[in-house]
Amino acid sequence: MKKLEPRDLSRDQCPVMKTISTVGDRWILLILRECFLGFKRFDDFHDNLGVSTSVLSIKLNTMIDRGLLYRKQYRNEGRRSRFEYRLTGMGWDLIKVVIALMEWGNEHLIKKGEPTLDILERGTGQDTKLQLINEEGGRTDWYELKLRVIEK
């Protein structure tokens, strides 16, 4: 039996391609960022992102259909019922992707002296960074990695 190599995977089998097709949209990634910052309501997304209401509605519904968000109804006194948009477990797992994009952007695109977002540990206030960790809990550098094909 021939050993499969990563290049032998079709595009439909590639996890990078599948992820991009699910979240590789500017508005979806920005809505995710807003969710991680604690925002849940349509008006907050609209105000913070400057996106049109029609595009925002489409993107929120797409994120629900893809399993990233769910709706939770709320009602302010004297007003009609509305929905909050909450992250699912699958949506929360994307925080690693958004943090990686933030770190890359801070390193390569944000100029010295420009304001930006940074990640701090809530309890200690210490700066945090994403790291590659092996199954024994040790840190792994990118140059120590190799890809393989597996069956899930």
Q: What does the pLDDT look like over 40-72, one tens digit per residue? A: 999 999 999 999 999 999 999 999 999 999 999
Question: pTM here?
Answer: 0.83
Asked if pLDDT for residue 15 goes beyond 90, the answer is: no
Bridge-based pairing state of the strands 139-140 and 82-87: unpaired
CA 47 → CA 39, 43, 50, distances in Å?
Answer: 11, 6, 6
- Please give the pLDDT value at position 23: 92
Q: What is the pLDDT of residues 73-128, one digit of tens each?
A: 999 898 899 999 999 999 999 999 999 999 999 999 999 999 998 889 999 999 99
d(CA 115, CA 94): 24
- Please give the pLDDT value at position 151: 75
Going 9 to 11 to 13 to 18, the CA torsion angle's sign is positive
**What is the average per-residue pLDDT within 131-135?**
92
Domains annotated on the chain, with CATH: 6-144 (1.10.10.10)
Lowest mean pLDDT among 7-16, 76-85, 124-133: 7-16
Between 68 and 15, where is the model more confident? Answer: 68
Which of the 8 DSSP states describes residue 110?
S
Nearest one of 121, 70, 128, 58 to 99, comparing CA atoms: 128
Structure confidence at residue 147 as a pLDDT band (50, 70, 90): confident
d(CA 64, CA 56): 12
